[in-house]
Amino acid sequence: MKMFVPRNWREYPSRYRLEASRFTKSGTVYYPKRMVDPETGDTEQETVNLPLSGKVLTYTVIRTSPDQWKDLAPYALAIVELEDGTRMMGQLTDCNVEEVSIGMEVRLEFRRVQTEGHSGVLSYGHKFVPKWY
């Protein structure tokens, strides 16, 4: 259980600030970050922050959820293509599952993504919400 604390902490740059790798030769962006570009073997990269909006590429609806997300069920898990073309998977929140559709515009919002029972750490990151402004 306590292993979760350091693991979660190491993921802050990608979870909190959506830091990704852009490799110099190919210009390809990877999220989460990688040490080496698997296409070119390039190790030269810069850190970029992903844009906070995109479109649903595909999704699935979770009705029988793991215990810790039961309060939110049913919810959709979506793969979203962000404005810069990067794809990421995450939970859609503040959204009736009947209203989800491919191509739907979403925004990324900072949310509580996981809680370790009643006494453990709270883990934060981004979820997708329907874009309305």
Partner 1 sequence: MAGIVGYGAHLPRHRIKVEEIAKVWGADAPSYKRGLMLREKSVPPPDMDTITLSVEATRNALKRAGSIDPKDIGAIYIGSESHPYAVKPSGTVVAEAIGATPDIHCADFEFACKAGTEAMYVALSHIEAGQMKYALAIAADTSQGAPSDALEFSAAAGAGAFIMGNDNVIAEILYTHSYMTDTPDFWRREHQFYPQHGSRFTGEEAYFAHTKGASRAILEKSGMKPSDFAYAVFHQPNGKFHQRVALELGFTQEQIDPGWLAPVLGNTYSGASPIGLTAILDIAKPGDLVFMCSYGSGSGSDAFIWKVTDRIDEVRDAAVRTSKLLEENLIYVDYGTYAKFRHKIRKND
Enumerate binding residues for partner 1 (CB under 8 A).
12, 16-17, 71-72, 93-94, 109-113, 117-118, 122, 124, 127, 132-133
Residue 54 C-beta: closest distance to partner 1, Å? 16
Q: How far is residue 31's CA from residue 34's CA, in Å, rounded to a whole number? A: 8
Residue 39 C-beta: closest distance to partner 1, Å? 29
In the bound state with partner 1, the residue whose beta carbon lies nearer, of 4 and 16, is: 16
In the bound state with partner 1, the residue whose beta carbon lies nearer, of 31 and 124, is: 124
In the bound state with partner 1, the residue whose beta carbon lies nearer, of 36 and 122, is: 122
Which backbone phi and psi does 5 adopt, to 5 degrees?
Answer: -60, -55
Q: 125: how many CB neighbours lie within 10 A of its CB?
A: 19
Residue 101 C-beta: closest distance to partner 1, Å? 17
Token pair listed for 66: 């793991």
Residue 72 C-beta: closest distance to partner 1, Å? 6
In the bound state with partner 1, the residue whose beta carbon lies nearer, of 60 and 68, is: 68
Q: How far is residue 92's CA from residue 127's CA, in Å, rounded to a whole number? A: 6
Q: Which residues pair with 55 in a beta bridge?
A: 81, 105
Residues 6+ apart with CB under 8 A from 33: 13, 14, 19, 20, 21, 45, 47
